[in-house]
Structures are given as C-alpha cells and as structure tokens.
Structure 1
Amino acid sequence: MTAPPRSTVEVFRRGGLRRLASGGRSWRAIAVALALIVPMTLFGSIILMTPSPSVLLGGRNAEDCAEAATGTDVSATAQTDIPRDYLELYKKFGRQIGVQWNVLAAIGKRETDHGRSSLPGVSSGTNYAGAAGPMQFLVSTWGGKTRIKIGPDVNGYASDGDGDGYGDIYDPADAILGAARMLKRNGAPDDLKRAIFVYNRATWYVDQVLEIARRYAANGQIQLPPEADPACDSSYVASAPDDVVRTILEYALAQRGKPYRWGGTGPDAFDCSGIIYMAYRNAGLSIPRTTFGQWPFGVRVQPGSEQPGDLVFFNAGPGTSKDHPGHVGMVVSPGKMIEARCTLCGPIKVTTYGDRPNIVGFTRPLENEDVVEQLKRALT
C-alpha cells in the first residue's frame, strides 16, 4: 500500500479527493471512515458521536442568527434614538467581544443618553460618584487615570477602541470597548443580570437596562450572540478544511452550554484541556490529556496562520508561566475559539481570543508525528 505523505492533514486540506494508489479510495472517504471506526480500533470501545447543534431551537431560526451576526437586528426605535457613530461602535465591539450589542447600547442610553448628556463627568471631569465618560466608568475601575497608555501593566478596563494606543475614558470607542469587556468579564452574554448588576449595583438599574435593550432589538428580545448560542449554525463546522477537523469541531461545539469542571472530560462537564482531549478522541486520535501535556505536543504555528482545530494557549492559572501555559482553547475560525474557561466564567462557549493579552502561542496537534502515525496505522 502506498504510504501517505508525512503530513496527512495537508492531503485532507487540498480537498481530500486524491486517491490512494492501492484500491482507488479517496482520503476524504477514509477520513470519514476513521471518524466513525477508529474510536473502536484505537480505544477498544465505541465513543458515541454527539450531534451538532440544531439551527432551530427555542424559537430561534437561521434568519435570527444571521441578523445577530451582522448587527442588522436593529429596531426602528434604536435607529432613531442612537447616534449613527455610537450604533456602529456598539455593534462592532459587541461582535468583537461577544456580548449583545443592544445591552451595550442600553447601558449607554441609561448612563449618558449615548454621550449627549450635559451633566458633569460626561465629556470632562467626573460626577458626584467619581464616574466619567459616555459609559460612566469609575476612574479607579478604568485604571486610575482618565487617559492611560495601553500596555500589559494596565490594571483596569481602560481600552483602546480607536487604535491610538491610549485608553481615553471620554472617547466613545475606548469607553464602549471597555464596557463590553467589563460585561464579558462579569457574566455576559449568558448571565446578563449578574453582568449588569456588577456594572451598577442596583436591581432597578438591571431591569431598566434590559427593558431598553429589548426596545432596541428588532424582534424585541435579548438573545445570545450567534457564536455563543448552540441554536445557531455559525458555519464553523461547514467551513472546516477537512473531515477530520470537521469531526473534531462537531464534538467540541456540541458541548456549548455545559459547565466547566476541573478535571472534567464529559459527558456533563469539561475543563479546558478535557474538551479538547475528548474532541480529538471523538475523531479517533489520542493526544495528551492536560494543558501542560498538550502545549509541547503539537507543531508550533505562527500567529495569524492558525486554522480550525489548532490550539491556542494562555499564560493563565496557578503555576503557569510564559513557557508553561495553563489554559487552552480550540480555534474554530480566525479570532474565535471554543473554551471551557473557569467555574465562574459561565458555560462552555465560543469566545474571541484576539483581545486576550496573555496568549502564549498556537499549536497544531494534527501535524504531530504520533497523530500522523495513528492515521497511518488505522489505514493498514
């Protein structure tokens, strides 16, 4: 039998239609067979495939998801009430960070009428409580100063939304990006009541923000962003480069909404490396179980060259360092990963990684020699 190339995955990525010299079988067909059969041959037991999320669930359909993904789910009220430049910023940073744009906009409305208020602290100085800017950050929460050079030593939500290198509490782009990050940090997009309550600790404030957010949405509802909603077909699986990656992504994405549990490998809960270990195992491939083992296992990938199925590592968690990362996610598309982050971080979901300051690097387990050998042995 003709031996496959050293990097089997490269053959898959060229379309999977090249045929083996022996038997005329296609690599794509073999990949499909491996995804279904190898779990039995390599591990001695059947690993049940978890179905991918349905496009229809809980009344949400593909059109709703498409509107949420493009930010076109804007009501007439929102179009009339929100200044155009602010609306674009709410939609832009809502998508970038993975929170509901209309919740961001509702906070902007409730705090300063989208920057139009003439009260103290909106365009200069602070109000009686020490808050400033269109999103009314406490200066201490922003980082101690109203204008801060953005760098690794910034301790707060100061953000650079306009790309000038500084976090200016009075700049709408910087302030809205900072607000999106604060909501995400405290539970959004899943636990909105908690996230909004942390923003301003009053239940009446939470109720008012949610009511405004509903009025700003075209369908009158507050829904998860499509990348965080198992009911939405985010096209991650459909755009996978080959059947092996597709099988890995299907399993991982089907775990959205399940809780984080340290040491968890399913089926009810996972930790960060556990979901990746089981997703690869679902495709019949054995990789290390822990983050510390997965980091040196894959072939290093230059930032910007990562592909679906690759792993992204972070300097986070006890006992970790730049050369010993303690957190890992799986790339599902450029800038997006699925991760099981922590007990208090909400359920497993698709998140952005480009805004994380502590990325250590990317690896490609599918090009590890052991993985290539596993595929070769399964074909003989």
Structure 2
Amino acid sequence: MGATVLGLTGAPAATAAPATAAPARAAQAEVPAGVTAGVAVFDRTTGTFTERLNETMRFRSASVVKLLIALDHLRTRDPRTLSTADRTRLDSMLRSSDDNAASYYWSLGGRTAIIDRTVTQLGLADTANPPAGYEDYWGYVALSAADTVRIYRYILDTASAPVRDYVMGNLRQPTRCGTDGFDQQFGIPGSFERPWSVKQGWSGFGSTGNCSPKPATTVPAAAARQSTQQSTQKSAQRAAQESTRLAAAGVDLTKEALHTTGTVGAGDRSIVAVFTLHPDGTAYGKAYSDLGRLTRSLSVPGGAHPGGTWFGTWGPGVNVRPGPTTAGSTPLTTLPAGVDVLVSCQRLGQEVSIPPYTNSWWAYLPQYGGYITNIYISSPGNQLPGVPVCSS
C-alpha cells in the first residue's frame, strides 16, 4: 500500500478546461497539432456555413460511408415494410457501426455501383470509389466534409419521410460501443447536449477496442465478411505498393482516421462534419481527445456544451463504475487509454491504492453515467480543483 500523495508526479499534464455554452464567435476551427482536418458546419436555419476548413478535401470514409450504403438499400424499399432480419441488420449498421452488416449490403448492392448511384442521386462532388483492386473495401470510399453535409441535407430535406425518419431515428440512438468494441462517444456526442444524431467513423486503430458491452453483430462471419475492415485496411494497403495506390486514390489510406458527423440542436439545426487524420501510430485515446477538442471549438448554431470540466486521464484499462467503489461493482465500461473525460462532480468513496498513489476521491463522468478513481485523472492533488462535491 502506498502512502497518500497530493499529486501524480510523472503523470501526464492536466488538460482541464471549463465547459460552457457554445460561444458566439468568428468561425475558426482549432485543429490540434499534427492533425489534418476537413470541417464543415452548416446552419439549416440560415442556409449558411459557420465553419469551413478543407471542406472539399477527400478522406477515406471509414464507417461514414454506411450512410450511403443504407440510402442505396432504401432507394427502392420502404423502411416500414422491411423484414425483421433486414431491419435488425440495418439498425445495427447505423447505430453500432456493424462492419459485417455493411459488408453484406455492400455486396448485395453491387459494391462500387452503390457509390455510382448515390453520387448521381445526391449530387455529390468529391465522393469516389475505392482504388482499383480494392473494390471490396467500402471504407476506402473517399468522402469530404462538404459532401457529407450534402448527404445529411438529402436525408433531411429530400428523402421520403419514411426514409428520413428511419435513418435519423437510428442515428439518434447510437450505442456507446460499436460492434467491434470501439467507444463511439467522441466528437459530437461528447461535445454537445442532446438533441443530436451521429454517424461516426474510425480506421487504423486495431481490430477491436475495449468498450463494453459490445452489441451483437447481425451477420454470420461467412456472409460477405470484410475481415475486420477497420484494422486490416492499413496493413493490407501497405503490403501492396503503398505509394502507387495512394497516388491513384488521391486519399491517405494509412494514417489513423477518426471522423464525427451528424446533426446538432432542435430540429437538426446544424449539420456537422469533421474528418481527421492523425500521425501514424497515434493511439485511439489520443485521437479521440484531439477530435473532441476540435469539435468543441466549432461554432455550431443550436448546440450547447454540457456542464463540467474536462481533464486528461492516464493509464490503460481505467474502469468506469456505477458507484465510487470497486467492491461488488461490475465496471460499466473501460475508457480508451489516455482519453479526455468530462467531470461534473466528485465525491469521497473507497480508498484506492495504485502504488505509489492512494486516493479516496472519485470523479463522476456524466457522459458515462459512472465514476472513476481520481488517481487516473491528470491533475495535481487528490481532489480536483474547481470541481464541486456531488450532492448525493
């Protein structure tokens, strides 16, 4: 058992910042060092953009392309008459980013023919199919922030009411964990109070994350599986003449990619599209935090930031628990290593020792609905500065 300490000497530097209402200011996305970003924020009330940064730059879409896959499948189908199996599969693809479901529909719809049809139907300007020889890789479809705004405008303003209501209804109910175990609460969900809707995308961070509980996948492994697409794309691409294909594709297929897209505010007032690439080898928690900081910097009409204070964390395998104790407490989930967290209050609980540190204070994370020991929060002292004590 270590002695009680007042600080975490050697822990990462604190990254606390008070959370406030979304400010009215000149548009200026704050892009973290080393991050490449394409950003577009469209205010549907005024019909104007409040943020535009590299908005026509093409990024590999990762799972954001599942919007187009779903729209194409519903092009000749009424969501109200889908079979139970079809609805379950589509729900999982849109809510839990189910890769197996996406591969099933990608094959069913003729793979690149899906993109050819939706580019024409939606009037997309920057969207392109995967490079030749990689037609099975739906995550290699190229998208831009500007085209993503067009996709959401089509869903909200042009698609039939049943399609609009079905797609947006699913995007308003994302599971916290994707079916591959990656935490989906980055970007829009972490930056704004509801109402919001999201379709997230990630690629290059490994085959599985540590988020739990993972939703069940909906497609048997033998049914058009894409062989853990989010992780294998990078290694497969590197193994087959990386530089040649990169030049042909016109998009980066190697760096870690993390994207947040969706709507924010009552009546889906603002459409938000943020695409990011991170230096090769970036950990998921680091990319997650950098994307969050970028998203929180944006001018998003109708959006309100949740109350609380942001802090960095350190160490892998940090559990979020339903109460300020480990006794008889099954973790709600495990945080991505080193991720920023929003703390609304703190309270005394079970004393925890992680030698050489000992601490009895626990922080409440409203976006996870649970507590973590303050030992793993990057802040000097056992009690977090400026954070109130929980009332109950």
In the superposition, the TM-score normalised over structure 2's length comes to 0.31
Bigger radius of gyration among the two: 1
Greater share of strand residues, 1 or 2? 2
* Structure with more contact order per residue of length (Cα contacts < 8 Å, sep ≥ 6): 2
The TM-score, its normalising length taken from structure 1, stands at: 0.31
- Structure with the largest fraction of helix: 1
